[in-house]
Structure 1
Amino acid sequence: MIIRDVVKFLIDNGPGRTQRQLSVAIFGSDDRGYQQRVNWECRNLTDNGQVACRGAGGINDPYTYYPVTEAAN
């Protein structure tokens, strides 16, 4: 299973997670290198219309990710 599949599964089953939360769930580490890998996958999934992104992307309003159907509500 590739990281993209795991990220998509986590978003589908636990919407509203940040990249940091997804990174810790997958790798068990708060290391920024792991978060960058998750960031790339989240951007790819968002660009492909598979997940939706909310938030401004800053420290006070980080991106959170949702299944496309839930984001439309």
Structure 2
Amino acid sequence: MAKSIDVSDLNIYYGDFLAVQGVNMTIKARSVTAFIGPSGCGKSTFLRSLNRMHEVIPGARVEGKVVVDG
């Protein structure tokens, strides 16, 4: 079963450093989504937060909301 992802007011920190700020987006089920931007803009950091890989980095934290399929 395909699932949608809703992201609201997502902020990602490394210690006091705000790496990604204010992401709001919806990724619809069965869609293709690409993240495009220059090196260092937070593409991989955002993807790590969706996969919950950011949680294992000491001092890192995520604020906001990510909802998968409601």
**Given the two structures, how large is their TM-score scaled by the length of structure 1?**
0.31
TM-score (normalised: structure 2): 0.32
Q: Which has the higher contact order (CA 8 A, sep 6+)?
A: 2
Larger strand proportion of the pair: 2
- Structure with greater helix share of residues: 1
